[in-house]
Chains A and B, each alone.
Chain A
Amino acid sequence: MQKNNVNRSVWLTILTIIMVVAPFTISGYKVDLLTMLMVNVILAVSFRLITTTGGWSLAHVPMMGAGAYATALISGKLGIPFWFSMPLAGLAAGLTGLAISYPLVRTKDFSFFVASFAAGEAIRLCWIRFKVPFGGHRGLGVPIPELIPGVPALDFGEAIPYYFLTLVVTIICLSLMYRLDNSRVGDSMKAVQSQEALAKSVGINADGYKMLAFFIGSFFAGIAGVLLAHRLWAIEPHQFGFTATLYLLVWVVFGGSHTFAGPVIGVVILTILGEVLRPLADWVPMVYGIIIILTLIFLPDGLESLPRRLGSSAGKIWKFRISFGD
């Protein structure tokens, strides 16, 4: 146990050093790519949080959109500084998630799928329909965040400063979600997924936990939306359409959703693959399609289950042990 913790902190330290040094060694385009990667990591991990109670919500990308639109309105139209608009927009997304969860927890399986899809699309149609304040098809502009409002200190319009802003927010979001996942609350959520009836009969308020998961998951999706919006400087409803939802599903199916690391692995590997295949950009959706089918057939629990499947001895090659001469 102790050794495992040491291992983990060693790996996290190495990862942090790489993440801090990386932007200075690569092009601006690639820095932005890493920024978007981190946004997608928050999105995928927050999606997994909802799946731990059992439902694969198809309204998760619209929740990210809710955060993006909220920050566009709060910081753009009302002129409230980024540092306040980010948590407020997260809260707005969280409350939106809570609102749609009320009817959604009353549905199951297939009907949950369809209902969550419908709820997400309904929210997206609101942005198109109500030109005031959402701007219709053209969407909204989003201001560049300022470190201290009115003082030209650090230019978050540049790739590298924004990268570090995203890095800090990502670390905070992931550690909060990790903590929740490993707490009794996280266990209760997993109990709801595992055996809903049993969970209820040992006194767990199943619907309550599902709604809590929706609130927290949507909150962090909203934060991801905020980070996205302030980097793109403009948002429009099509970004949060079903294609984006499909990508999210592919990441999480490919990586696996049983462990915290699963979705992270999924996003990172598929994003790298997408970059490698850039010359064949038109083919990427098809490659993704093939990947999801192969994953479901050969690795139904996702990439995270690979070490376990290869057996414990081979698993050690995968996550090799670092020992300190003992």
Chain B
Amino acid sequence: MAILELKGLGKNFGKNVAVNEIEMNVEEGEIRGLIGPNGSGKTTLFNIISGFLKPTKGMIIWQGQEITGLPPHVVARLGLVRTFQLTALFSEMTVMQNVVTSCHLHTGTTLWQQFRHSAETRRKERETEEKALNLLESMGIADRKDEIAAELPHGHQAALGIANALATGPKMILLDEPVGGMNPTETSETMDRIKMLRDRGITVFLVEHDMRAVMTTCDKITCINFGNKIAEGAPQIVCNHREVVEAYLGEEMACSL
């Protein structure tokens, strides 16, 4: 069953068509890759799905319910959470504080309870901290919980970014260039974490330029160019697709994969 359906989704900036009537379905439990040349509309598409931009036309159906035009925090509450490129962390907070803040949705205490600081509130806060610690353990960065986020190495920052997204209890995560700027070791570690997300039953939709990472991780790939979908299917099929090779990969790249 499709967990996310895009129906004729389009976005214009003035006269420029950034995204042109895209139709696509993301199935529950898959890892979907979105590829395309720079400026092809990948990030715009992510921004529309997550509610940061309003589409000019078309519909977004999330679990059978229309979410077109809802603000980002509401979309997140429905279980559709996006992450940003590496540097987007609560960078001056500690690793632990990052995840605890992202657990916000589940703490479920009111302002009044915060003020009273009752036993109930404290119990909930302890629960949140335990949950955050579990998440950090599953991401393999629990030993760094008291370090400042900005001071972590790249790979660990990426892990923290994913932990932040996981803390909201999502059904689907949108990852924007999860391995951008990483060395091969960090890349393969991050890709393993992404596969782990799928094993937890979370659908993953990612934008990435590192073709090797995309090819080895994704179940299915969609390629867009100038805002139009030009190919979709299993990694091997898409990367040998004539238009994809011409627009994005180039002959050499296609052969090597």
Contact = CB atoms under 8 A, between A and B. Distances in A.
A203 interface: yes
A203 B84 contact: no
A187 B91 CA distance: 13
Given A184-B109, A191-B104, A195-B88, 12 more contacts: A179-B115, A183-B115, A183-B117, A184-B114, A184-B125, A188-B101, A191-B93, A194-B91, A200-B52, A202-B76, A202-B102, A203-B77
Given A185-B114, A195-B90, A198-B88, A204 B100 contact: no
A206 interface: yes
A186 to B, nearest CB: 8
A199 B73 CA distance: 8
A191 B105 CA distance: 13
Contacts of A185: 111, 114
A210 interface: no
B100 A187 contact: yes
Contacts, number: 88
Nearest to B174: A201
Contacts of A197: 52, 72, 84, 88
B126 to A, nearest CB: 13
B72 A200 contact: yes
B92 A194 contact: yes
Interface of B: 50, 52, 71-73, 76-77, 81-84, 88-93, 97, 100-102, 104-105, 107, 109, 111, 114-115, 117, 125, 164-165, 167-168
Contacts of A184: 100-101, 104, 107, 109, 114, 125
A179 B72 CA distance: 29
22 contacts: A184-B104, A184-B107, A190-B90, A191-B93, A194-B91, A195-B89, A197-B72, A198-B89, A198-B164, A199-B90, A200-B76, A201-B76, A201-B81, A201-B82, A202-B105, A202-B164, A202-B165, A202-B167, A203-B77, A205-B73, A206-B73, A212-B111
